[in-house]
Amino acid sequence: MQFFRLAATALMCLGLAFPSLASAAERLTIKLKTGDVVIELAEDVAPAHAARLKALAEAGEYDNVAFHRVIEGFMAQTGDVQFGDMEDGFTPRRAGTGGSDMPDLQAEFSDKPFLRGTVGMARSQNPNSANSQFFIMFDEGPFLNGQYTVVGQVVEGMEYVDQIKRGDPNTNGAVDNPDRMISVRAGG
């Protein structure tokens, strides 16, 4: 009996007995105006990308960042940390064209499929250009499989993602007066 208590204690300390304890550091929590969205990061599949999202979140870089491209039935894109409004002290430019001050990341493509709630890294046509922008899938997108880095999965609050303001389909989903991430933090 003593052995089982010691084994259980060791497992709890390692976070193996309770998955929520083990994965707390592997999650991001996005606060939206409608509620919190919790993303479990795929650190085993895309370690560099997961580390980047956590670092930017902890630095407050995602706070008040817009969902600048939102396409019904496809995805909501955000994370352009250099874009803001004039009143925020940023130079106006086209949202979705920037990243962070950190260097771009090498692609970490995997066999993880793009399903509803999958979080992927946005990039330009260069596969090694992901930086800070990411998107959350409203529906599955098999055409993205193996072409974009899967960095996580929404595990709580997908109903709040579904409420993000959609963009104009005639302008590739560009959103006027977009919804924003109030804050993003590691843990959750």
Q: What is the pLDDT of residue 90?
A: 41
Q: Residue 141: phi, psi to the nearest 5?
A: -140, 75
Domains and CATH numbers, the chain: 24-186 (2.40.100.10)
Q: What is the pLDDT of residue 98?
A: 61
* Alpha-carbon gap, residue 53 to 56, rounded angstroms: 5
pLDDT in tens, 5-63: 334 334 334 334 334 333 444 999 999 999 999 999 999 999 999 999 999 999 999 99
- Categorize the per-residue pLDDT at 182 as very low, low, confident or very high, splitting at 50, 70 and 90: very high
Beta carbons of 150 and 135 less than 8 angstroms apart: no
* Alpha-carbon gap, residue 112 to 157, rounded angstroms: 21
Q: What is the pLDDT of residue 42?
A: 96
Beta carbons of 109 and 146 less than 8 angstroms apart: yes
- Scanning the structure block, which residue is given the tokens 């650190």? 43
Q: Does the predicted TM-score (pTM) go above 0.85?
A: no
pLDDT in tens, 109-145: 999 999 999 999 999 999 999 999 999 999 999 999 9
